[in-house]
A and B are shown apart, each in its own frame.
Chain A
């Protein structure tokens, strides 16, 4: 069964969680045996934008060791045979230069979404 996870929320609790938890759970589902791809839309299209850095946060003397690294999350996911796609119009609306995206991510047009979704047996929107 082919499965698509659509991710639209971004940078939500990523500092506390040290991961994007929807990208993370998508990895877990794949590790559990799911044949699964990921579509980034809305604010999540910024995830593949190069140059992101999260300095460890210190609050009340407690310094974080591992900041979130969403690029590593995407690269590992794609490296294991799954696809990551991003919606072109959402990138353009946010002024994101396509040349600055991780090469692992495929850009697709919003008008292609219906035929994309039809290729999957299950679609979950997070």
Chain B
């Protein structure tokens, strides 16, 4: 596996799944597989800066975190509110990863 992209759609305050995905991504990074989490839909809430947030812990573990600009706008989350290190991005990121043959898990 060259790289991993997790497309996360679930609100981390409502589900435990996103935390599990961060753990998986962190484990993949530790084992040498660059990993990214792309937050979209209600998972975009996790992109907001907050104490001990999921995005911060993912970034601290070496996971890249990006967020769908479309989902940010839908939820009135401005780029100035984002956790440091979270990159605004677009749905094209998913196609780029797929085209490169990377493993893409859509949650």
Contacts and interface: CB of A to CB of B under 8 A. Distances in A.
Q: Direct contact between A and B in the complex (CB less than 8 angstroms)? A: yes
Interface of A: 6, 8, 41-42, 110-111, 113-115, 117-118, 120, 122-125
A111 B33 contact: no
29 contacts: A6-B105, A8-B17, A41-B20, A42-B17, A42-B20, A110-B20, A111-B27, A113-B24, A114-B24, A114-B27, A114-B28, A114-B30, A114-B31, A114-B33, A115-B31, A117-B1, A117-B28, A117-B103, A118-B1, A118-B31, A118-B33, A120-B1, A123-B1, A123-B103, A123-B105, A124-B105, A125-B105, A125-B106, A125-B107
A88 B20 CA distance: 13
Contacts of A42: 17, 20
Contacts, number: 33
The 6 A-B pairs with the shortest beta carbon distances in the complex, nearest first, are: A114-B27, A125-B105, A114-B31, A114-B28, A118-B1, A123-B103
Contacts of A111: 27
Interface of B: 1, 4, 17, 20, 23-24, 27-28, 30-31, 33, 103, 105-107
Given A42-B20, A117-B103, 18 more contacts: A6-B105, A42-B17, A110-B20, A113-B27, A114-B24, A114-B28, A114-B30, A114-B31, A115-B31, A118-B1, A118-B31, A122-B103, A123-B1, A123-B103, A123-B105, A124-B105, A125-B105, A125-B106
B30 to A, nearest CB: 7
A124 B107 CA distance: 10
Given A117-B103, A125-B106, A125-B107, A110 B23 contact: yes
